[in-house]
Chains A and B, each alone.
Chain A
């Protein structure tokens, strides 16, 4: 047997562990474990009551087995029993087992809470610490409910031991993070702040963590902590290291506490009080000075601890952003680190400088290090360091150095690691656009991007170049010439073909004067790439061709021949075939004027946030992208067109407009082209030159969720609380809990519908890995098509994001689709499922008709299976106006003067499905005295009558 264990070795445990280690195969291990499990189970079930030691040993074995990765489904009770043992070690193992294995919704929580309660009341500090640790480890709501009131009093009580105070502070911090609503602020808050003055540095450290978190949430309540924190910090940085005894770490005075205090101060602006402010400035200067002193030890621990404090001080200086001298000193210090032999320091210096670059005081100072940073890009061995260098170059870029930085990034791109190429492409594209003085440089840069890293150039990037070329007539001729030249290369990337096709289709005429790029040459050049391209690109090229027919009548015949060929007209791809057919026909029958109107040059795109920037933000995650747009204005002396249009609350475009394809850069809706297309009342692709939405994008998360059985949507209770409230209305809140609010806005037209789902993050914390998708039962899938657009995986605290669902009703249906939402909040995975209020009546179109017509049809629908009738008691007060509103909301026309009894309601409408239309008549007769209704529905289809009757009768 190997190493003798210390303390009370549990010999059986050591033997077991050693057995497991000797297992030659996974199978042998499983066998050994199963044998052990059987043994333990029989011991636990046996008649003889187990003594504490055995119980402890077996519980510990179970824990070991669990930590090896095996499931454990018993022993919890025995572990809970150990909590009430008087022996410390038994209690300790019991608590350890519970901390590791008990999840927050265990049935045992009440028993565990009982054990904890006893230990908290025991006044034995070691027992109290175990109990507090357990609360912090499990951190469940039930525990918060049980103890959130007690812990503050333990924390501030005068006679509490220091070690218990530390545990209580951190336990309270944990509960505040998991269940903030259950941790009441109270008179204890003021007393907590005074723990910053405590004699015991361990207590101060723990309290500072707690206060920092509380201050982030309610800064005003903890303002008094500023002066105490500055005083404490000042005493630490000026102390001789000996003073702090064991809190000195490798000759650095209390580094953990210093960093925590500096972090606490970052919750606030610079102190207003002048004396306090200068005392803090002194502290920061002292920390900066110490960095220049010779090290007191050669150990890396010394330099790490010292520099940890230094970096935190620099963070505070950057956060305050008010002392130019400190900022410049910080920048110089980081500049030294840029060339340090420690990789860690170079990495951190690059990272910190990114934030410094966004301060107007230090931006220029950061820029002086450009050569070092470029050198880092070229010479660093570690890709994560090179990535930080890319980030810093991006952050320090302005008009003066844009050309140099873009050139360096482009040349680095050729050899960059695959994992970061896409990000670099986005950054180059953004910088090139932002700092373009002349747009010829911009066009060259993006074409270079496509040449060097075509596979990593996302749609957003090449859409953007097209938007810009279309919006700036000074660059159109140059762009046409450049893409024409670039297309000459024998092998060029498909993205270049796309850009080339689009630009020549719009502006090929600008270079057609030169015989070397005559219309025919242009066309032949484009068409030589056609067969190598994917379907979407070919579709785009076809649109370019029809544009050519308009621009250059002389190539009309050639192009018509191409369109007429079997490979186009009979293409297996329906989109290509349709385009070929329609374009050919258009070119044959339309007059020159009509052709010129339909195929007019694209109107300018409305200015909005660069979609590339949005993409980069998504990629990097919020907060990680130095904001090159906003902060630095004063320094650059330039205010470029503001790009921060708020897209989240953009009003939803009308349904009709959106029946046109959307996933592409779209010209403003007033464009004549769109109008032309609208009058044709179809979704013909004339305007949809890019037509990339032919394959609706399914959420990327969907696949993952289909294949992973973790937290499958089926296991979540589907909320249908508000479902019936949406029968007669289209907008409102469908779901709400403490974290999330889900609102809906819906529009329906004939058999199509669109739902805008708004997800509101009610907390101040990000939701991560957010995904939302729609599931339907198998039957429903054939009756109702639902297309979901993906949503951002991150929802910022307090923010709202929108998701669009497109719905098509194929035939009448009963079920409703379910919206499944998943996200991570504070580390915990949240699953929510909501029944979506898509009901058959949503596809009603109201029908007005005369009394005569109504009765004629009523009689026609007289077969017994066509009529459904229900007599029911009123659930709500009977009010005529309310009833009218509900019937209208249900979707039918309310017909006045049809029923001889004016108290009755009569309605008519048509349900539109893709396969058929179902006419529907209804009559609602209220009986005020009996508080009853009689509802009669007649439709041509039994299933429709049934369903509509069910839906409507629930509403009264």
Chain B
């Protein structure tokens, strides 16, 4: 199974974190630190795989963002790379030419899309069409309830 997925920028800023097993917050912060320093230190054109403790780390850079996926030892590395790629495609389809800012400002959407794609550390649905249809239909659902759309924002 997959253990966690982290998205961080070239500056090491975390943009998304998804943990598939319960881990104490403290430990999470430690892992995030370790992953960013480990992955950012890699030379270009190195292979995309690393051994780390009893896990395999699969990482790939898309524009300014690093996607870093930890999988258990017996899992397939190449397919993990394609899990990352499929997620990028899903984000791209939803946001249209996705960029880091989309993920920052719509982080909750990035989580929802991920949840349609993966669950409990396993692939839930690999079909791009089906996942996109799910996301779109939930957007449709929310457009029905736009009654409070124009609430005055005093404090932002």
Q: In the bound complex, how far is the Cα of B112 from the Cα of A747, in angstroms? A: 59
- A766 part of interface (Cβ distance < 8 Å): yes
Residues of chain A contacted by B64 (CB below 8 angstroms):
none
Other-chain residue from A3, A126, A766 in contact with B102 (beta carbon distance below 8 A) = A3
Which residue of chain B is the closest to A35 with respect to CB atoms?
Answer: B155
CB distance from A131 to the nearest CB of B (A): 12
Q: What 0/1 pattern do residues 78 to 121 of B give for CB contact below 8 A with A?
A: 11011001100000001100000110111111011001000111
CB distance from A819 to the nearest CB of B (A): 22
Q: In the bound complex, how far is the Cα of B107 from the Cα of A308, in angstroms? A: 30
Residues of chain B contacted by A138 (CB below 8 angstroms):
22
Q: In the bound complex, how far is the Cα of B125 from the Cα of A709, in angstroms? A: 41
Other-chain residue from A60, A209, A346, A621 in contact with B108 (beta carbon distance below 8 A) = A60
Residues of chain A contacted by B146 (CB below 8 angstroms):
8
- A826 part of interface (Cβ distance < 8 Å): yes
Q: In the bound complex, how far is the Cα of B137 from the Cα of A126, in angstroms? A: 10
- A17 part of interface (Cβ distance < 8 Å): yes
Q: In the bound complex, how far is the Cα of B126 from the Cα of A255, in angstroms? A: 9
- A259 part of interface (Cβ distance < 8 Å): yes
Other-chain residue from B81, B108, B141 in contact with A88 (beta carbon distance below 8 A) = B141
Contact B46 A15 (CB under 8 A): no
- A877 part of interface (Cβ distance < 8 Å): no
Q: In the bound complex, how far is the Cα of B43 from the Cα of A132, in angstroms? A: 41
Other-chain residue from B46, B53, B127 in contact with A246 (beta carbon distance below 8 A) = B127
Q: If A170-B122, A382-B47 touch, does A7 touch B139 (CB 8 Å cutoff)?
A: yes
Q: If A16-B156, A347-B49 touch, does A246 touch B130 (CB 8 Å cutoff)?
A: yes
CB distance from A317 to the nearest CB of B (A): 15
Contact B153 A15 (CB under 8 A): yes
CB distance from A956 to the nearest CB of B (A): 44
- A78 part of interface (Cβ distance < 8 Å): no
Q: If A14-B105, A36-B155, A301-B82 touch, does A828 touch B95 (CB 8 Å cutoff)?
A: no
Q: If A89-B142, A170-B120, A308-B79 touch, does A343 touch B46 (CB 8 Å cutoff)?
A: yes
CB distance from A56 to the nearest CB of B (A): 9
Contact A311 B78 (CB under 8 A): yes
Which residue of chain B is the closest to A11 with respect to CB atoms?
Answer: B153
Q: If A87-B142, A348-B77 touch, does A136 touch B120 (CB 8 Å cutoff)?
A: yes
Contact A89 B101 (CB under 8 A): no
Residues of chain A contacted by B10 (CB below 8 angstroms):
none
Q: If A308-B82, A828-B21 touch, does A384 touch B73 (CB 8 Å cutoff)?
A: no
Contact B139 A827 (CB under 8 A): no
Which residue of chain B is the closest to A203 with respect to CB atoms?
Answer: B125
Residues of chain B contacted by A166 (CB below 8 angstroms):
119, 124-125
Residues of chain A contacted by B142 (CB below 8 angstroms):
7-8, 87-89
Residues of chain A contacted by B130 (CB below 8 angstroms):
163, 202, 246
Other-chain residue from A14, A39, A174 in contact with B120 (beta carbon distance below 8 A) = A174
Contact A202 B127 (CB under 8 A): yes
Q: If A87-B145, A259-B79 touch, does A163 touch B107 (CB 8 Å cutoff)?
A: no
Other-chain residue from A53, A92, A311, A384 in contact with B112 (beta carbon distance below 8 A) = A92
Contact B49 A8 (CB under 8 A): no
Contact A170 B119 (CB under 8 A): yes
- A67 part of interface (Cβ distance < 8 Å): yes
Contact A205 B138 (CB under 8 A): no
- A312 part of interface (Cβ distance < 8 Å): yes
Which residue of chain B is the closest to A42 with respect to CB atoms?
Answer: B155
- A463 part of interface (Cβ distance < 8 Å): no
Q: In the bound complex, how far is the Cα of B134 from the Cα of A163, in angstroms? A: 10
Contact B106 A710 (CB under 8 A): no
Q: In the bound complex, how far is the Cα of B47 from the Cα of A48, in angstroms? A: 57
Q: What 0/1 pattern do residues 341 to 352 of A give for CB contact below 8 A with B?
A: 001101110000
Contact B47 A827 (CB under 8 A): no
Contact A206 B124 (CB under 8 A): yes
Which residue of chain B is the closest to A710 with respect to CB atoms?
Answer: B26
- A772 part of interface (Cβ distance < 8 Å): no
- B40 part of interface (Cβ distance < 8 Å): no
Residues of chain B contacted by A133 (CB below 8 angstroms):
115, 119
Interface hub of B78, B137, B148 (most chain A Cβ within 10 A): B78
Contact B153 A205 (CB under 8 A): no
Which residue of chain A is the closest to B152 with respect to CB atoms?
Answer: A12
Q: What 0/1 pattern do residues 465 to 496 of A give for CB contact below 8 A with B?
A: 00000000000000000000000000000000
- B50 part of interface (Cβ distance < 8 Å): yes
Q: In the bound complex, how far is the Cα of B74 from the Cα of A347, in angstroms? A: 15
CB distance from B13 to the nearest CB of A (A): 10
- A26 part of interface (Cβ distance < 8 Å): no
Contact B53 A170 (CB under 8 A): no
Contact A209 B122 (CB under 8 A): yes
Q: What 0/1 pattern do residues 18 to 52 of B give for CB contact below 8 A with A?
A: 00011110110100000000000001011111110
Contact B79 A5 (CB under 8 A): no
Q: In the bound complex, how far is the Cα of B21 from the Cα of A177, in angstroms? A: 10
Other-chain residue from B81, B119, B121 in contact with A304 (beta carbon distance below 8 A) = B81
- A167 part of interface (Cβ distance < 8 Å): yes
14 A-B Cβ contacts within 8 A? A2-B101, A5-B105, A6-B95, A36-B155, A53-B151, A67-B107, A139-B22, A163-B134, A202-B125, A205-B125, A206-B125, A344-B78, A348-B78, A623-B73
- A64-B107, A307-B78, A348-B49 given. 15 additional CB < 8 A pairs? A7-B143, A12-B153, A14-B105, A19-B156, A88-B141, A104-B22, A126-B141, A170-B120, A245-B127, A255-B82, A311-B76, A343-B46, A381-B46, A710-B24, A829-B27
Q: Give the 7 A-B residue pairs with the shortest CB-CB distance, closest first.
A: A827-B21, A174-B120, A53-B148, A308-B78, A308-B79, A89-B142, A136-B120
